[in-house]
Amino acid sequence: MPGNAIYTDLSGYYDLMCADIDYRAQSHCIHRLQQLFGNAGKRHLDLACGTGPHVRHLLDAGYQSSGLDINQPMLDRAVIRCPEAHFSLQDMCGFTVNQPVDLITCFLYSVHYSAGLERLQACIASVHDALVTGGLFCFNAVDKHRIDNDSGVSHTAQHADGLFSFSSGWNYSGNGEQQSLKLRIEKTAANEKQVWHDEHSMVAVSFSELIELLRPYFTVHVLEHDYETIAPWNQTSGNALFACVKI
């Protein structure tokens, strides 16, 4: 794998990087939230859908699921995974739909890829326009004031190209609307090791700021970041699920 080719197109390693994510549990939680807070409708759109794992699970649960992403190689893989779904190459901060949907999702903290507060507000407005009245917007987020720059998560996974180790963690300076997601990838093959480092610029926002951005468009429910038990946010944890009903 020459140079930084792994960052030129992550699509071939995306599922490997996310191998420790329980997409089934997340998708089941989305379904429960739609039943509890939404209109129970089945028309679904996944923002920043990547290779389509959430779309696959919701299709299997009976939804008319679709997805959008800004990365065409990711969408090419999503089409293979979900040939019956519709995918479009669009920016989640300024997208349109042919018909309003009942449910919009944006998981893996992808809402932070809005990169700035102005674009985040544009994303929220686009979501509002794309939903039917009473439709539900579900996503997860991290509060900038509760980020521990010294913490992170890591896992290893075997691939035909070798053994991979993935590590990631949030970093916030304490000021402004920019935080970053730091990523380290290590590949070991034939007793040779390669290491890549990357840093993704993300929008930094507190939960109170996020709620204020959402309130003109939605009734906002902030929940604990727990895909097994639906409970109100405890006001202290730095991660939360947002279930937002279009007004």
Q: How would you label 110-129 residue by residue, b for 16+ Cβ within 10 Å and e otherwise?
A: bbbbbebbebbbbbbebbbe
For residue 215, being part of any structural domain is answered with yes
Q: Where residue 168 sits, what CATH number does that domain have?
A: 2.20.130
Is the confidence at residue 7, as pLDDT, over 90?
Answer: no
Q: Do 124 and 213 share a domain, yes or no?
A: yes
Q: Do 66 and 185 share a domain, yes or no?
A: no
Q: For residues 63 and 22, what is the distance between their CA atoms, to the nearest angstrom?
A: 19
Domain span including residue 155: 147-202
Q: For residues 216 and 246, what is the distance between their CA atoms, to the nearest angstrom?
A: 9
Q: Do 35 and 50 share a domain, yes or no?
A: yes
Is the confidence at residue 5, as pLDDT, over 50?
Answer: no
Q: Do 51 and 162 share a domain, yes or no?
A: no
For residue 63, being part of any structural domain is answered with yes
Q: Do 111 and 197 share a domain, yes or no?
A: no
Q: Do 66 and 117 share a domain, yes or no?
A: yes
Q: Which pLDDT tens digit goes with each residue over 105-164? A: 999 999 999 999 999 999 999 999 999 999 999 999 999 999 999 999 999 988 888 999
